[in-house]
Amino acid sequence: MNNLLGTLSILKTFNMKPNYSELSRLYGKARSTIKRYYENGGKTVITRKRDSGFDFCKDEIKELFKAKGANKKGVYEYLKDKYQALPSYSTFRSYTSINDIKIEKTTTPHVRYETKPGEQIQIDWKESLKMTSIDGDVFDFNIMTTTLGFSRYHKFTYTRTKTTEDFIRCVIETANHLGGLPEHILTDNMSAVVSITNGSKNKHPKIKQFERDLGIKIKLCKTRSPETKGKVESANRFLSWLIPYDGKFNNETELIEIIERINNKVNQELNKTTNMPAVVLFKKEKEYLKPLPNKVMLESYIESVETKIVPQTLLVPYKGNGYSVPVKFINKRVKLVPIDNKLYIYFNTELVVIHELSNKKFNYNAQHYVEGLGYRIKNDNTDIDKIAKDNLALLDKIRR
């Protein structure tokens, strides 16, 4: 640099015009830079320090970084959500580095575990969360995080409690959102799924029935083997993005909307393992998901549903009236799902029959009645169809 400045000083003294291209080759400086040095009398040009797009909220950034569990990306997304027009995330990282604004980080070893498209969805609770609204109202809640193993596509579902019913509801909401189901669900030994007695794990009966109805296996993580559930725990880390919103939302509805916005942003983030956004890979994985069970069967876990054992009369009782099913279901448990003005009767995932809800005491399907009579009347000369027709006409006149 000194040699270059010396040369320029001599040329300036003798009023000689420099050959900028030749000087650029000799000293490895840009022609425009050498020209500025020459025109400035051989002095380096002092540039003014530019203001940063984050200067106005520097103190706010420092405060947000102090929050327990906060991370840099989460703080940036909060500020972007709040102020809209901000420089890029890379600029934010540079700004915090230059200004020595830091977050204490902890690292945990994580062993990668890969799955095929449509093979697995991992489920976990981000539990016992507590956030305060602008008015000081405290909200205690949980978030079920579900993550498809191949695409890393996430679904966050807000819940107030962590019951078996909550687990089932969240799985159904996720299945409807995804438009299908993978081969199996992987989760830990959460109390909503299993009970543990003397070290022995047993799934709740309702969970076992749910597996049968959906045609999906719920697998439990091995004890002290969190690496098998690492992808959903990575999703849990994204929920640190919620921290900056503490004390800055109005009500529960707005809190849920914030969670949904974070969910959408997370799925659009570039994943460090796949090097692609989850939302892009999900388009491929969706092709491998199994079709959903009948919508009525899914709704049966949310709506008012009754389970009954089929008697020998074939008439399953519902609100004081009987509705028939085929003979083969005698002594078996069926689900009664009322939707609109119809009664859907299911055996596991099989839709057995649909009846119109009525005020008649006996609601026999003619085919069911004929089949039932055939088991009782063995005489080949008997006109079972006529007997059935006559008896059904009489039964039809009997009201509640």
Which domain CATH number covers 151? Answer: 3.30.420.10
- Asked if pLDDT for residue 259 goes beyond 60, the answer is yes
Residues 208, 357 within the same domain: no
- Asked if pLDDT for residue 279 goes beyond 90, the answer is yes
**Average per-residue pLDDT in the chain?**
81
Residues 59, 32 within the same domain: no
Residues 35, 59 within the same domain: no
- Report the C-alpha gap between 143 and 252 in whole angstroms: 13
Residues 150, 175 within the same domain: yes
Q: What is the largest CA-CA distance in the chain?
A: 133
* Structural domain contains residue 131: yes
pLDDT of residue 227: 47
- Asked if pLDDT for residue 338 goes beyond 60, the answer is yes
Residues 6+ apart with CB under 8 A from 376: none
Q: CA nearest 165: which of 203, 206, 225, 223?
A: 206
pLDDT of residue 196: 78
State how beta strands 120-132 and 138-148 pair: antiparallel
Cross-sheet strand order for the sheet of 362-363: 315-318, 321-324, 362-363
pLDDT of residue 46: 46
Percent of the chain with pLDDT over 70: 81
* Structural domain contains residue 48: no
Residues 182, 256 within the same domain: yes
Residues 166, 247 within the same domain: yes
Q: What is the number of structural domains in the chain?
A: 4
Please name every residue paired with 351 in a beta bridge, in sequence order, or none if there are none.
346
- Report the C-alpha gap between 271 and 264 in whole angstroms: 14
- Report the C-alpha gap between 200 and 197 in whole angstroms: 5
Q: CA nearest 232: which of 128, 156, 118, 141?
A: 156
pLDDT of residue 19: 84
pLDDT of residue 6: 73
CB distance 215 to 349 below 8 Å: yes
Q: At what angle do helices 278-285 and 252-268 cross, to 10 degrees?
A: 80
Range 262-285 average pLDDT = 89
pLDDT grade for 397, boundaries at 50, 70 and 90: low
pLDDT of residue 353: 87
* Structural domain contains residue 111: no
Q: CA nearest 369: which of 336, 317, 332, 326?
A: 326
* Structural domain contains residue 318: yes
- Residue 193: DSSP 8-state: T
Residues 86, 138 within the same domain: no
Dihedral angle computed from the Cα positions of residues 343, 348, 352 and 354, in that order, rounded to the nearest 10 degrees: 20
Residues 183, 244 within the same domain: yes
Domain that residue 352 falls in: 304-396
pLDDT of residue 235: 60
Q: CA nearest 120: which of 255, 289, 332?
A: 289
- Report the C-alpha gap between 186 and 149 in whole angstroms: 10
Range 238-255 average pLDDT = 87
Residues 272, 135 within the same domain: yes
Higher pLDDT, 120 or 169: 120
* Structural domain contains residue 222: yes
* Structural domain contains residue 295: no
Range 274-290 average pLDDT = 91
pLDDT grade for 349, boundaries at 50, 70 and 90: low
Residue where a domain terminates, one of 64, 98, 132: 98
Range 221-246 average pLDDT = 66
Helical H segments across the chain, by residue range: 2-13, 20-27, 31-39, 58-66, 72-83, 89-98, 164-178, 205-214, 230-238, 252-268, 278-285, 295-299, 366-376, 384-396
pLDDT of residue 74: 84
- Asked if pLDDT for residue 395 goes beyond 60, the answer is yes
Residues 225, 130 within the same domain: yes
State how beta strands 194-197 and 200-203 pair: antiparallel
Tens digit of each residue's pLDDT (9 = 90 or more) over 56-110? 888 888 888 888 777 888 888 888 888 888 888 889 988 898 888 888 665 544 4
* Structural domain contains residue 373: yes
Residues 124, 272 within the same domain: yes
Residues 63, 16 within the same domain: no
Tens digit of each residue's pLDDT (9 = 90 or more) over 301-316? 765 678 899 999 899 9
* Structural domain contains residue 105: no
Higher pLDDT, 260 or 223: 260
End-to-end CA distance of the chain: 105
Residue where a domain terminates, one of 241, 262, 288: 288
